[in-house]
């Protein structure tokens, strides 16, 4: 099996997590996925990344000849060093290892996936695609915390932002749907300047970003993926004074309290029952008060963040919803839009109920500001980056 005519071949896209490896064989030109799956029980709790990659590459060989252009890896943290995807070499591996201090759960697993491919398929070109890279265009006013400068200089304490691969995919697609060319700059004769988007990526992790002319200028996540919006199990923004206060009140340490903010807060902490927006919405509609409150806080904080990001852009052309909740929750979108009428947004209920699928993504009534639903596809973005970098090297 070969890639489509004239293409550089297929790309093996890998997302190596702490306990599983998600994989997909992707045609970077057509987006087709002839093979995909997930290897479970990896890492501390089970088998090695080497065994998993041997199995995954074995599935490929079972299919006969696969013209593999390279492997593309999702890597969570690229620090200040990477503002684009890169071909992996020893120096890149060292940098990913160094940024493990900023993403101790993710980068070591991502690295193990890259090293396993290098062992199982020596010579196969590999590309690292960073969640943080897209946000490296943020200005210092958006990325610096108002803390002692030494923390930034010595400990790299600043806002990085995440979900960048998704934002890149979704903002390009939204620009196309809105009649702007991919870079987000206006077509000839178009009255406005660079296209101003707020994209809300609402999955298990939730963040939103302000994107001007295709460049990130602000986002809600920070040093870690815990800052910003309410998420499935993460608190999002809290008063930093909370940590010292609770340490004193309960005698618990920083690691323990941070873990509670990361894994037992958010929708789960508020509702006491679930981190899943489907379950929360159904319970809220049945009159469950705690689920109702979880939904209220989620919507309140999201609406506030969209308005804040609009200030970072100096105005808004479109609000775009993506990822599990953003693509599927008619209720969350409806409630957020109802809060943002003052920005010029108004829900088109029929279009929203159809997830924008019959209206070119649009879920708003005609007006100065549009709302869209745009399904994200991080795997395809990783495959395209990999094909681009591999063919540039040839
Ligand atoms: P991940 O961040 O792990 O990729 P997803 O993007 O798949 O996660 O998003 C998962 C979230 O999407 C969950 O909170 C889930 O409840 C929510 N979700 C999926 N389908 C629906 C739906 N039909 N209505 C509301 N929420 C949904």
Ligand 1 and 276: CB distance under 6 A: yes
181 in Cβ contact with 175 (< 8 Å): yes
User: Catalytic: which of 51, 67, 84, 131?
Assistant: 131
Output the pLDDT for position 64: 78
Output the pLDDT for position 144: 98
pLDDT tens sequence across 84-114: 999 999 999 999 999 999 998 899 999 999 9
Shortest-distance Cα residue to atom 4 of ligand 1: 203
Distance from C-alpha of 348 to C-alpha of 156, rounded to nearest angstrom: 44
Atom of ligand 1 nearest to the CA of 323: 6
- 374 token code pair: 């745009």
Rounded average pLDDT over 34-59: 89
Please tell me the distance between residue 355's alpha carbon and the centre of ligand 1 in angstroms.
Answer: 14
pLDDT tens sequence across 305-349: 999 999 999 999 999 999 999 999 999 999 999 999 999 999 999
Give the DSSP letter string of 314-356.
Answer: TS-SEEEEEHHHHHH-HHHHHHHHHHTGGGT--B-HHHHHTTT
Distance from C-alpha of 48 to C-alpha of 16, rounded to nearest angstrom: 11
Please tell me the distance between residue 21's alpha carbon and the centre of ligand 1 in angstroms.
Answer: 20
Output the pLDDT for position 72: 98
Output the pLDDT for position 62: 83
**What radius of gyration, in Å, describes the C-alpha atoms of the chain?**
21
288 in catalytic set: no
DSSP 8-state assignment for residue 186: P
Ligand 1 and 371: CB distance under 6 A: no
Ligand 1 and 83: CB distance under 6 A: no
Lowest pLDDT segment from 44-48, 102-106, 328-332, 381-385: 44-48
């Amino acid at each position: 099996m070969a890639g489509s005519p004239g293409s550089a071949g297929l790309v093996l896209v890998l997302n190596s997590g702490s306990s599983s490896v998600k994989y997909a064989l992707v045609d970077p030109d057509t987006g087709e996925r002839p093979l995909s799956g997930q290897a479970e029980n990896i890492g501390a709790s089970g088998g090695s990344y080497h065994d998993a990659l041997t199995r995954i590459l074995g599935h490929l060989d079972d299919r006969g000849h696969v013209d593999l252009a390279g492997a593309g890896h999702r890597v969570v943290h690229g620090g200040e060093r990477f503002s684009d995807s890169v071909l992996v070499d020893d120096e890149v591996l060292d940098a990913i290892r160094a940024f493990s201090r900023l993403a101790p759960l993710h980068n070591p697993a991502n690295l193990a996936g890259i090293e396993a491919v290098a062992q199982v398929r020596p010579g196969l070109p590999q590309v690292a695609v960073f969640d943080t890279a897209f946000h490296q265009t943020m200005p210092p006013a958006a990325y610096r915390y108002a803390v002692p400068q030494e923390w930034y200089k010595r400990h790299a304490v600043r806002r990085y932002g995440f979900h960048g691969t998704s934002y890149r995919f979704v903002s390009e697609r939204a620009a196309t749907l809105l009649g702007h060319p991919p870079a987000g700059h206006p077509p000839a004769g178009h009255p406005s300047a660079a296209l101003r988007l707020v994209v809300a990526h609402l999955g298990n992790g939730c963040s939103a970003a302000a994107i001007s002319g295709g460049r990130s200028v602000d986002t809600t996540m920070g040093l870690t993926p815990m800052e910003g919006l309410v998420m499935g199990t993460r608190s999002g923004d809290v008063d930093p004074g909370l940590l010292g206060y609770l340490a004193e009140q309960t005698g618990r340490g920083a690691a323990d309290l941070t873990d509670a903010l990361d894994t037992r807060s958010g929708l789960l902490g508020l509702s006491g029952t679930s981190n899943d927006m489907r379950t929360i919405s159904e319970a809220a509609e049945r009159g469950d008060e705690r689920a109702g409150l979880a939904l209220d806080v989620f919507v309140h904080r999201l609406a506030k963040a969209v308005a804040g990001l609009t200030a970072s852009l100096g105005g808004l052309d479109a609000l775009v919803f993506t990822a599990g909740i953003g693509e599927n929750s008619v209720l969350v979108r409806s409630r957020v839009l109802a809060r943002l009428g003052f920005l010029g947004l108004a829900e088109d209920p029929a279009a929203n109920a159809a997830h924008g699928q019959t209206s070119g993504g649009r879920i708003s009534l005609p007006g100065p500001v549009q709302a869209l639903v745009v399904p994200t596809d991080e795997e395809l973005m990783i495959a395209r980056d990999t094909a681009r970098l591999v063919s540039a090297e040839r």
